[in-house]
Amino acid sequence: MKDIYDVTIIGGGPAGLFASFYSGLRDLKTKIIEYQPYLGGKVHVYPEKMIWDVGGQPPISGGDFIKQMVQQAQTFKSTVALNSKVTDIRKEDDGLFVISTNKQTHYSKTVIVAIGGGILNPQKLELDGIDKFEVTNLHYIVPSLQQFKNKRVLISGGGNAAVDWANELEAIAEKVTLVYRSEQLKGHEAEVNKVLSSSVEVHLNTTIEKFVSEHDNDYINKALLYNKKSQKEQWHEIDEVIINHGYVIDRSLFESSSINIALDEYQLIQGNTDSSTNIPGIYAAGDILKHESKLHLIAGCFQDACNAVNKAKQFIDPSSHERAMVSSHNEKFKDKNKELLKTQKILD
């Protein structure tokens, strides 16, 4: 017999995790399908970076934020399928959505697509023979800041990630050098101003041309930098290299899906402010969703998630309320609220 879910969420990042929580709040049988072997999405790229832009949440590291999101998402014990790549979504004559993955087939009354920008793989530096350094001191992801303590660190990139890492590492590393191929850094203004006024050595119009391992031990010891404006080359002695050139995005789901979901020119879902798409019963949340009022912050993806769940609830049961009852008044939290208030009084 088919195990049929009310809501199946494709993607276990911030949008998918909050959708899981909110779906439970609306008493919907829920499943999350995630490509990676873990939940948390792109936040895993910066586990030690501080997150500042979630309302009511004091600054928190990415790693701790993941733990909290997963704990909240599992409040109503949704089913989770990890290591599962969705290869097709189709709709049967009885109205059920059939979601095929590399492992099994899932059945659902509604679907929420929350895959962020898509399956992400770091954009690698294209230099001959550098793959061997990936197991030593060439990094595309930074799981821990302490490994760079008192080291000479070279960072390549000019977006938010590169600028943020430069600022984070300035107080930890012996020296931080930031190189970017363009004329201006493209991170958030405050962070760019911070790095430009810091001890970080910034080289604009500059690219990495070559790495050298002096002792033939698969460790990078020197990097050759080229400034295309001055047309000069310069060698830098380094201990660690971080590459932040963005990501190669896999959105093959839309190419292989039997359902023709409307996309924009950037292969994002062209949806509506209420998270609905051109396919009744399919909704979207987070970075994959494009609409006129889109807010590209974690806080914005939470609103998308709530809208998507509310629309899914009404799709399944048209007589249901448009929105869930606020959690402070919800019967499901009655006992939990009393316990939390009691704990808070003790702490106070």
Sorted by where each begins, the domain ranges of the chain are: 4-120+247-347, 124-243
Written as six digits, the tokens of 138 are 């060439």
Q: Is 42 annotated as a binding residue?
A: yes
- Along the 348 residues of the chain, how does pLDDT read in single tens digits? 789 999 999 999 999 999 999 999 999 999 999 999 999 998 887 788 888 889 889 999 999 999 999 999 999 999 999 999 999 999 999 999 999 999 999 999 999 999 987 777 788 998 988 999 998 999 998 878 889 999 999 999 999 889 999 999 999 999 999 999 999 999 889 999 999 999 999 999 999 999 999 876 789 999 999 999 999 999 999 999 999 998 877 778 888 889 999 999 888 999 999 999 999 999 999 999 999 999 888 999 999 999 999 999 999 999 998 887 666 666 667 666 666 666 556 655
Q: Residue 5 has what DSSP assignment?
A: E
Written as six digits, the tokens of 213 are 């391992």
Q: How far apart are CA 309 and CA 20, in angstroms?
A: 9
Query: How many helices and strands (H and E) does the chain possess?
Result: 7, 21
Q: Residue 71 has what DSSP assignment?
A: H
The alpha carbon dihedral of 12, 16, 22, 23 has a sign of negative
Strands 175-179 and 152-156: parallel
Q: Is 34 annotated as a binding residue?
A: yes
Enumerate the H helices of 33-159 as residue ranges: 62-73
Q: How far apart are CA 126 and CA 129, in angstroms?
A: 9
The alpha carbon dihedral of 164, 167, 171, 173 has a sign of positive
Task: Kindly report each contact of residues 99-103 with a partner whose C-beta sits within 8 Å and lies 24 or more positions away, as own/partner.
Answer: 99/8, 99/10, 99/33, 101/33
Domain spanning 124-243 has what CATH number? Answer: 3.50.50.60
Q: Do domains 4-120+247-347 and 124-243 have the same CATH topology?
A: yes
Q: How far is CA 131 from the centre of its chain?
A: 25
User: Which of the following CATH numbers is that of domain 4-120+247-347: 1.10.3720.10, 3.50.50.60, 3.90.550.10, 3.40.50.620?
Assistant: 3.50.50.60
pTM for the predicted model, two decimal places: 0.77
